[in-house]
Amino acid sequence: MRPLGLRNIFRYLAVFVVAVSLNFMLPRLMPGNPLALLAGVDVGLMTPAERAEVIEAVGLDAPLIQQFIDYWWSVLRLDLGFSFRSERQISEMIMERLPWTLLITVGSLAVSAVVGIVLGGFSAWRRGKKSDLSLLTGMISLQSLPSFWLGMLLISVFSVQLGWFPSFGAVTPASDFEGWGHIGDIAKHAILPIVTLTVLSIPGVYLTMRYAMLEVLGSDFIRTARAKGASEARVLFGHVARNAIAPVVTFLAIRFAFAFGGSVIIETVFSYPGLGRLIFEAVSGRDYPVMQATFLVFTVAVLVANLVADLLYPILDPRMRVR
Amino acid sequence: MKKRLSIPILIACLTLVAAACSSESDPTTTTVTGGDPTTTLAGDPTTTTAATPAEPVVVRAAITGDEDTINPYTYISGFPGWNLLMMQYDTLMQLDADGVPQPWLADTISANGDLTEYTLTIVDNASWHDGTPLTVDDVKFSLDYFIEKATGRFSRDLRGVVAIAVSGDNGIVISLAAPNPAFDLVALADIPIIPRHIWEGIDDPGERAFDISTNVGSGPFMMTEYESDQFYRFVSNPDYFRGVPAVDELVVIVFADDAGALAAIRSGEVDVSFERVSPEQIALLDAQDPLDISQGPEFTTQMINFDASKAPFSDVVVRQAMSLAIDSQDIVDTVYLGAATVGSPGWVHPGKPAYNPAVEATFDPAAANALLEGAGYIDTDGDGIREFGGEPMSFDMITNSSDSLRLRIAELTAAMLGDVGIEITVVSVETATWEEAVWPGFDINNGRNYDIAVWGWSAPVQANTIRIADLVNSDPGIGFLNLTGFSNAEVDAISSQLLTEADPATSQQLIGDLQVLLADQVPFVLLAYPDGAYVYNSEVYADWEFIAGQGIVSKVSLLPASARP
Amino acid sequence: MKLLNRKRTKKRSPKVANRLGMLGGGMVLFLVVMAIGAPWFAPYDPTERVGLPFQPPSAAHLLGTNDVGQDLLSELIYGARVSLTVGIVAALVALVLGTSVGVLAGYYPKRLGRFLMQGVDVILILPFLPLLIILAAYLGRSLLNTIVVIGVLIWAGPSRIIRSQVLSLRSREYVLASRTMGAPDRWAIMRHVLPRTALLATGTFVRAVSTAILLEAALSFLGLGDPLQKSWGSILFWAQSRGAFLTPAWKWWVLPPGIMIMVASLGFALVAFAMEERINPRL
């Protein structure tokens, strides 16, 4: 494994500092203000003095630079603060949502990684043949499905028409399931979102795998290996797949990191209580602390995924050496 | 021949994956509909309305958007948040089906001649959920608390209160600085009474993180469970002072949007929607058994606002021409498919006693053109757009993209105004951006950043006719909702006088005159009052009460007939 | 017979790819013609209310009418304009940005590469949604801005993948050889790196077109686009917001735009597939 040099550490730190600072600026750059959220819908009924009091109570009257310093101080102390809207600990709110988001995204990612790599490899191997073409066509068609369209159609068919799966939520509200019943309940709620997400992410894995494989298949050393008389299977698994896996891993690592941003559309369609909805509601209502906190989690996740991909790259692709 | 791997096979693979997942689930709960053990009551509908211990009546209701912990300082929306708040708390008076306040926690209410002093007696059989009796001390404490710790709505309700005094065992006297003929409607039927023994230790309700344990009310329901963004569970209060509720358990489920709620009610996963059914769904849902629709007039409004403080909208002729050019009936028919009342140019809903029938909406594009021509707004360069002061009459009409009906209203109105030579570009933006443009900082002293906007007020603004001054008075202290920057001396005089007029006959006369004046001066163009329509499963619970202007979401709907006001 | 024989002996047939490419080209051409000729093909002006709202298909309105009585078929035909423009132009923006940055960063992995990738990292890390709202709020809502926003948002991912590829190419024998022989970097990039990256870039472009078309639809769905712009995405937005998904209207209101989106994406993909065959026949 390539040691993580000082330079790289500095690089990651720089990205972290810039991104986290931008996360502070983004909410404040947005038009509109969090007053409606702080004061409730009756904000219009308040006197200017009452409004000023509300703004002061959360420190939004302080100079921007002061707020910025406070923000960094709380980031460094890992203190995510309280939501404007619910006045709850944000860390608590995120921990409530994260498992649900991870359940559906990791579930779908696992399925699509296996299916996508296998089919992508198969497709590249059978390049130009009918099976490759059908797969490619099918995958690109799948990729062209609008996610909410697919989700709504699945709800129409499997929930409304057939009644097989629930159409919303992560668990049956106010139910008294215990043990296996509870797990079954969760599984039933997760299936449609996972299916939707899987259908949507298989083509990405598949195409990345296929293209990477094709590239490797065409390179000199493969032809050398073939010329040396290595068996097709040996070429395929010993050389090609091993060398093609790097872009796929990068792709999967980033997709996994993006799970920490939730999947707004799918969570909206299925009323699924994940991080994506938390972020979307925070953004719509200008809940600055929640926006900052969720962005921070997202930022850290993506950075870590990049770091992992960077560290893994030389191991996965033996040809590559960055001095 | 090569084996052909195609899309159907792929889909079959996915189905297998799905099937593999589902096999993990408990085999006894294969379907969702009816799988919930708490809802095994799809039997005889007559037994469901009369609560029996053997078969508890459980109603599952859909809302869109979380309402936080629903106490007076945390609930989020005016509708249905306030309505859910009132499941747990009581007001001194309660609206009946006609929208008229009736005695509730206060069993007698009287006012002095000039309406500056209200004397109430509090019922003696009400108690808090923790068993403590509800007394007149709690009432005084609540009013004092809301005056002291700003909440927006309830503090505003109590502005003008100068003294609150307990008299005797269960009497209370509220004194006002000026006559307020609508005090019963806006304050007594609006403010929740909170328990002193819970709240007196709380100095800063805005800072405090509330939870279920602090939600001690006196209402017919108690919140026992809350999962953020998922659901609320309310159970009935068997000791409720008006009688045992007809529904034993109310589960309120949070959806991300209307479509999700709609799918759930069609699949039988919820029993009622606390969100209004959109017009195109009314007939469809009504046709499906066992779903039924409860429909009636409501007091929300849809309107066109313009910045009347600047040219050309400062010219009354332009405003009158715009009003004449807009066909409100077409909007009601096309956008609402008839499920709305055409807007009255005098603001007051035609269903209200204060409505002046002499005022009605007129659609006459020819007259609009003539007005504009006459006032010198003429298309000099022949491009179909009139000019004023050398500038073309081209404006942006801003609307919030999350409200699809409003978007369509904008689209239709833009075309109508285009027909009289005013070019409109519809600009759809996100809700917070739209609010910030029309109502910067929610304070009209900050001015306005728009030309034309589609806007709407929630029901409470229309509910109290006397407070029309809020919308049209040019003094920002009085007309704090005057978003159009409208200003007219005569309107100012009448609307101010109305606020304190104690004599009902004079008051009625003033409101009538004001409507005529507003129809002529056009402070905004009122397009429609959309109907409220709610869908429910009549096999689970059918006794929903539609309160005029408020809809079915209230505790009244969940009480037996004998306990209703 | 001759054709069949050749096919068998050559093991892989460029003819198949060509034929698929022709098919894809036909699909794209069909859509382009539809977009350009929309005023002639469409029976009505899609912005005019020409019928009653929520009408099922009839002789006058082959796909029925939408929620305010606009002709759905006309909307569908005009929709090709917006969806294709947004898809192609935004993907081009992303392609140019992503490939240049990816190749430069991959070929010069030291200082320049680090700097560029740092920028890419920041962009990938920035939360998508508020960025979009801010951009939309400051730029205003127009077709051009939708394109810019989508293009700017989707180039960063592809640039990383291309960089990985270039990084790997860079250490191969032929590149190393040309470098040791003293050939300028420009030559090595043009001669060795770009052709080998073009394949990946083409794949990325294909994905970018469909991503852009889908993003446009998704933005509309979340209420962040311009729903009054007649695109396939906005037709779906209206179908969704007026409940057509749950009524019989889904057959004429929901399916057609979804199918059009798939056709568009598939057409481009097939063309790209044929192009790829030509660009790099050795593969």
Sheet holding B272-273, edge to edge: B221-227, B231-236, B249-255, B58-64, B272-273, B532-537, B291-296
Structural domain includes residue C50: no
Band of residue B490 on the pLDDT scale cut at 50, 70, 90: very high
Q: Do A155 and A228 fall into the same domain?
A: yes
Structural domain includes residue A86: no
Structural domain includes residue A5: no
Q: Cβ A268–B256 below 8 Å, yes or no?
A: yes
Quick check: B480 pLDDT over 80?
A: yes
Q: Cβ A36–B432 below 8 Å, yes or no?
A: yes
Structural domain includes residue A210: yes
Query: Quick check: A114 contacting C, CB < 8 Å?
Result: no
For the ranges B298-312, B370-384, B435-449, C222-236, the lowest mean pLDDT is seen at C222-236
pTM for the complete prediction? 0.78
Distance from CA of A317 to the nearest CA of B (A): 30
Identify from C125, C196, C197, C266 which residue to disrupt to test chain A contact, counting A C-beta atoms within 10 A and taking the largest count: C125
CATH of the domain at A254: 1.10.3720.10
How far is Cα A172 from Cα A177, in angstroms, rounded to an integer? 9
For the ranges A263-277, B165-179, B550-564, the lowest mean pLDDT is seen at A263-277
Structural domain includes residue A202: yes
Which chain B residues are within 8 Å of A50, Cβ to Cβ?
Answer: 150, 152, 155
* Lookup result for tokens 């600026």: A25
Task: Please name which of B447, B432, B441 lies closest in space to residue B307, comparing C-alpha atoms.
Answer: B447
Query: What mean pLDDT, rounded, does chain B reach?
Result: 84
Which chain A residues are within 8 Å of B250, Cβ to Cβ?
Answer: none
Q: Cβ A39–B2 below 8 Å, yes or no?
A: no
Distance from CA of C101 to the nearest CA of B (A): 33
Q: Do A52 and A123 fall into the same domain?
A: no
Partner residue opposite B207 with nearest CB, options A57, A86, A155: A57
Q: Do A132 and A74 fall into the same domain?
A: no
β-pairing, B106-111 with B161-167? unpaired
Q: Do A293 and A242 fall into the same domain?
A: yes
The last residue of a domain, from among A79, A113, A129? A79
Distance of CA C107 to CAs C165, C171, C173, Å?
A: 10, 10, 14
How far is Cα B233 from Cα C10, in angstroms, rounded to an integer? 70
**How much is the pLDDT for A297?**
85
**How much is the pLDDT for B91?**
95
Q: Cβ C133–B259 below 8 Å, yes or no?
A: no
Residue B308 near residue B486, CB atoms below 8 Å:
yes
Structural domain includes residue C40: no
**How much is the pLDDT for C113?**
82
Q: Do A71 and A157 fall into the same domain?
A: no
**How much is the pLDDT for C140?**
62
Q: Do A136 and A52 fall into the same domain?
A: no
Q: Do A184 and A290 fall into the same domain?
A: yes
Structural domain includes residue C47: no
Quick check: A39 pLDDT over 60?
A: yes
Structural domain includes residue C174: yes
DSSP reduced 3-state for B221: strand
Q: Do A112 and A69 fall into the same domain?
A: no
A260 or B276, which is more confident? Answer: B276
Distance from CA of A16 to the nearest CA of B (A): 29
Number of domains into which chain C is organized: 1
Structural domain includes residue A84: no
**How much is the pLDDT for A298?**
83
Structural domain includes residue A122: yes
CATH of the domain at C80: 1.10.3720.10
**How much is the pLDDT for A317?**
66
Mean pLDDT for B237-245 is 93
Structural domain includes residue A3: no
Query: Quick check: C226 contacting B, CB < 8 Å?
Result: yes
For the ranges A178-182, B174-178, B266-270, B558-562, the lowest mean pLDDT is seen at A178-182
**How much is the pLDDT for B17?**
37
Q: Do A183 and A58 fall into the same domain?
A: no
Which chain C residues are within 8 Å of B416, Cβ to Cβ?
Answer: none
Sheet holding B161-167, edge to edge: B106-111, B117-122, B171-176, B161-167
Interface of C with A in 155-214 (CB under 8 A): 157, 160-161, 164-165, 167-168, 171-174, 196, 199-200, 203, 206-207, 210, 213-214
The last residue of a domain, from among A24, A51, A79? A79
Query: What mean pLDDT, rounded, does chain C reach?
Result: 78
Which chain C residues are within 8 Å of A148, Cβ to Cβ?
Answer: 217-218, 221, 236, 240
Q: Cβ C218–A146 below 8 Å, yes or no?
A: yes
DSSP reduced 3-state for B285: helix
**How much is the pLDDT for A309?**
77
Name the closest residue on chain B to residue A40, using Cα atoms.
B76
* Lookup result for tokens 């991503």: C211
The tokens of C236 are what? 């779906």
User: What would the DSSP string read from start to end of B363-431?
Assistant: --HHHHHHHHHHTT-B-SSSSS--EETTEE-EEEEEEETT-HHHHHHHHHHHHHHHTTT-EEEEEEE-H
- Give the A:C interface size as CB pairs under 8 Å: 173
Partner residue opposite C125 with nearest CB, options A29, A299, A322: A299
Query: Quick check: C282 contacting A, CB < 8 Å?
Result: yes
Structural domain includes residue C116: yes
Give tens-digit pLDDT for C60-101. 899 999 888 899 999 999 999 988 888 889 988 888 888 888
Q: Do A73 and A102 fall into the same domain?
A: no
What angle in degrees, to the nearest 10, is found between the helix axes of B504-521 and B489-500?
160
Q: Cβ A220–C174 below 8 Å, yes or no?
A: yes
A205-222: burial string, b at 16+ Cβ within 10 Å, e else: bbbbbbbbbbbbbbbeeb
The tokens of B400 are what? 């919030």
How far is Cα B222 from Cα B216, in angstroms, rounded to an integer? 8
**How much is the pLDDT for C223?**
64
Number of domains into which chain A is organized: 2
Which chain A residues are within 8 Å of C140, Cβ to Cβ?
Answer: none
Residue-range definition of the domain harbouring residue C115: 68-279
Residue-range definition of the domain harbouring residue A37: 10-79
Q: Do A198 and A59 fall into the same domain?
A: no
A275 or B345, which is more confident? Answer: B345
Quick check: B45 pLDDT over 60?
A: no
**How much is the pLDDT for C283?**
40
Distance from CA of A30 to the nearest CA of B (A): 8
Mean pLDDT for B97-110 is 90
Top-ranked range on mean pLDDT: pick from A224-228, B26-30, B171-175, C161-165: B171-175
Give tens-digit pLDDT for A96-141. 888 888 888 888 889 999 999 889 888 887 777 778 878 887 887 7
Give tens-digit pLDDT for B294-324. 998 888 899 999 999 998 999 999 999 999 9
Which chain C residues are within 8 Å of A280, Cβ to Cβ?
Answer: 129, 222
Which chain C residues are within 8 Å of B410, Cβ to Cβ?
Answer: 228
Mean pLDDT for A173-191 is 78
- In B212-263, which ranges are E strands? 221-227, 231-236, 249-255
For residue B349, count other CB atoms closer than 10 A to its CB: 24
Quick check: B42 pLDDT over 50?
A: no
DSSP annotation of B36 reads S
Band of residue B374 on the pLDDT scale cut at 50, 70, 90: very high
What ipTM does this complex have? 0.76
Structural domain includes residue A155: yes
Interface of C with B in 232-271 (CB under 8 A): 237-238, 240-243, 245-247
Q: Do A21 and A139 fall into the same domain?
A: no
Which chain B residues are within 8 Å of C247, Cβ to Cβ?
Answer: 284
Q: Cβ A87–B152 below 8 Å, yes or no?
A: no
Structural domain includes residue C112: yes
Task: Please name which of B302, B305, B318, B303 lies closest in space to residue B451, comparing C-alpha atoms.
Answer: B305
Which chain B residues are within 8 Å of A115, Cβ to Cβ?
Answer: 13
Distance from CA of B8 to the nearest CA of A (A): 9
Name every residue whose Cβ is closer than 8 Å to that of residue B265 and which is 6 or more positions away in sequence: B62, B271, B272, B273, B285, B291, B535, B537
Interface of A with C in 49-78 (CB under 8 A): none
Structural domain includes residue C38: no
